[in-house]
């Protein structure tokens, strides 16, 4: 699973909640790749700890030569958790839900949105798990 470009754009509590929910989005033995800047406050030590608490083993962690960026790789060591339908994973700062839903409760992914050539709003997007 790729979780890049997220953890530097949400709150610490949002990161912690997202990491805690990742076992419900992973297959057994899944590898999660994630990125985060190291600017103050440097949350990477906490993020690495949260992955451990969520049942992941750290496979790798590296920082860019200038110390600004980092990338981590964590492998799920236990069984995947049950998916919590409709659970909010995180909200980008701003707190409003703009733009079309990426997941349609009756039909799965909204392919018109996912394949659209128009730009997607980069801010204020709330990401949720599918609703049944």
Yes or no: domain 1-82 corresponds to CATH 3.40.50.150: yes
Chain segment 17-57, per-residue pLDDT in tens: 999 999 999 999 999 999 999 999 999 999 999 999 999 99
115-131 in b/e burial notation, b at 16+ Cβ within 10 A?
eeeeeeeeeebbbbbee
In a 13 Å sphere around the CA of 105, the CA atoms on its Cβ side amount to 4
Chain segment 69-109, per-residue pLDDT in tens: 999 999 999 999 998 888 888 888 764 443 334 444 444 44
Tell if the pTM clears 0.75, that is, is over it: no
The domain segmentation of the chain, as residue ranges, is 1-82, 84-132
């Amino acid at each position: 699973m790729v979780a890049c470009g997220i953890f530097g754009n949400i709150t610490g509590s949002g990161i912690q909640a997202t990491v805690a929910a990742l076992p419900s989005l992973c297959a057994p033995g899944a590898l999660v790749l994630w990125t985060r800047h190291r600017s103050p406050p440097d949350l990477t030590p906490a993020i690495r700890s949260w992955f451990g608490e969520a049942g992941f083993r750290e496979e790798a962690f590296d920082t860019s030569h200038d110390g600004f960026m980092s990338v981590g790789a964590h492998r799920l060591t236990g069984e995947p958790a049950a998916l919590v339908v409709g659970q909010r994973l995180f909200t980008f700062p701003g707190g409003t839900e703009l733009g079309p839903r990426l997941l349609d409760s009756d039909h799965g992914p909204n392919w018109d949105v996912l394949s659209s050539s128009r730009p997607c709003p980069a801010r204020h997007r709330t990401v949720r798990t599918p609703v049944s």
